[in-house]
Amino acid sequence: MPNIHNKNCRFPGVGNASVKSIRNFRSMGCREKEKVLLSMWQEYQVRPGLSVSVLDAALPDTFSFDYRRDNQFIDFGFFLEGDSVNEIRKGPRGNRMVENRAGKGGIGFFKHMNGIVTIPAGKKVRIVHMHVMPEVLGSMLCDDVDCVNPSLRKVLEQEDGAEFFRHHCMSPKVQAVANEVFFGVRNNFGVKLYMEGKTLELLGLSLVEGDCPVKSGLHSLCPRERDIIHAIRKELEETFVVPPSLAELSSKYGISVHKIQAGFRSLYGMSVFGLLKEFKLQKARMLFEEGDMNVSEVAWAIGYINLSHFGTAYRKRFGILPKAYLKAAQANVYDRADGVPGS
C-alpha cells in the first residue's frame, strides 16, 4: 500500500490531539480517490515511531491508484481477507508484482519507491500494516537484533542503500493477533496498554517467524513440496465450509497424506485440522464484529452444524461464549454510531 499522509487524522486511544499521520492522501492527485481511501483507512499511533493502520474496504468497482514515496518506515503487512495487487516499480532495479490474498504477510523497506495498487471489485478486503522507524525497532530489539534477517539488520543499522523485502504466508498465530489488532483499531478500542501490547506481540511474532534462521523441519520439504503445501492451504481456506478430505487432497496434488500433515506442522506449526479450525473461528469472530448475523447464522456460515460444538470451540479459543461476544460487539457498534468511544 502507498505511504499516505493525512495531516488532520486523529488516533483513538490517545486523546483528541491531532497527530501527524503516516499516509499522504494528497499525493495521489485525485480528490475522489482521496475521499474513497479516507473512508476506508484508520490509523493508531502506538508510540513515537511506531504506528498501526488498517484498511477495511468493500468496493462495487475495481479500484486502483498510483503512489510515490520517500520512506522512513519499515512496513509490516498482514492480509486478513480478500485480495489485491501491488505493482512496485523500482526503476533500473526492475519491477516487482506482489499478489496479496488472505493469509499472506510481508515485511518491506524501500527508501524510494512508486507503483500501482489495484483492489478488485466485489470483495471484502481487510489489511493491517505496522509502520516502525528502523532506529525505533533497533532500540526495542537491543541484543536480539542478531536474530533478524541479515538484510533487515542492515536496514536497522541504517546502512546506506540498505533495502529489504519479504513476502510469505502468515502462521495462524500471527493471523490471530493481526485480527485482534485490526478490530482494536477498527472499533476504536480505547485501552492504550492493550493496543500497545497487541502491537508489540504482533511485531515480535512477525520477526521470530519471518526472519529467524530457517527451522530444521523445513529442510524435509523440497521447494516443490512447499509450494504444494501453500496451494493446499489456499484451497482449504477457499473451501473451508465443506473442505476436501486429506485423501482427496493427496490424490489431487500427488503428495502423500503423511507429507501433507508433516508439511503443515513444519510450515505453519499446526496440524491441517488445527489450521482449518483456527481459520474458521477467526472468520466467525470477524462475522460477529460486523454484527449482521446471529450466532446460529455465523456457525452455519463457517461450516458448523452443531451449535454446541461451535460454542465449545469458540469459548476454548477466545475465552468467551459466542453469544456473549456477539452482544459485546453489537454494543460497541452502537456506541460508535452514537459517537461514544468503544470500551
Give the position of cell 498465530: 173
The grid coordinates of residue 182 equal 485490526
pLDDT of residue 190: 64
pLDDT of residue 272: 92
**Helix (H) or strand (E) run with residue 61 in it:** none
pLDDT of residue 212: 40
Question: Which residues does 76 contact at the CB level (< 8 Å), separation at least 6?
Answer: 105, 106, 107, 129, 130, 131, 132, 202, 203, 206
Alpha carbon distance 278, 80 (integer Å): 13
HEC secondary structure over 285-335: HHHHHHCCCCHHHHHHHCCCCCHHHHHHHHHHHHCCCHHHHHHHHHHHHHH
Closest by CA to 80, choosing from 64, 104, 59, 63, is: 104
Half-sphere exposure of 232 (CA within 13 A, CB side): 33
pLDDT of residue 310: 96
pLDDT of residue 48: 92
pLDDT of residue 297: 96
Alpha carbon distance 62, 58 (integer Å): 10
pLDDT of residue 98: 79
Alpha carbon distance 12, 216 (integer Å): 42
pLDDT of residue 312: 95
Half-sphere exposure of 264 (CA within 13 A, CB side): 20
Alpha carbon distance 180, 187 (integer Å): 10
In degrees, rounded to 5, the angle at the alpha carbon of residue 88 between the alpha carbons of residues 54 and 117 is 45
Q: Which residues pair with 278 in a beta bridge?
A: none
Alpha carbon distance 222, 83 (integer Å): 27
Q: Is the dihedral of CA 303, 328, 202, 79 positive or negative?
A: positive
Closest by CA to 195, choosing from 128, 262, 244, 120, is: 128
The beta-carbon contacts of 214-218 under 8 Å, at least 24 apart in sequence, are 215/266, 217/265, 217/266, 218/266, 218/267
> Distances from the Cα of 292 to the Cαs of 37, 250, 286, 305, 333, in angstroms?
24, 37, 11, 19, 11
Report yes or no: 260 and 271 within 8 Å, Cβ to Cβ: no
Alpha carbon distance 255, 271 (integer Å): 16
Residue stretches of the chain with pLDDT short of 70: 1-34, 37, 69, 90-94, 189-190, 210-220, 332-343
DSSP category for residue 18 = B
Report yes or no: 52 and 181 within 8 Å, Cβ to Cβ: yes
Query: Based on the number of CB atoms within 10 Å of its own CB, is 259 exposed (0-12), middle (13-18) or buried (19 or more)?
Result: middle
Tell me the per-residue pLDDT of 201-232, one tens digit each, with 9 for 90 and over.
Answer: 999 998 877 544 334 444 467 888 888 998 89
The interaxial angle of helices 307-318 and 322-337, nearest 10 deg, is 70
The one-letter code for the residue type at 229 is I
Tell me the per-residue pLDDT of 273-288, one tens digit each, with 9 for 90 and over.
Answer: 988 998 899 889 888 8
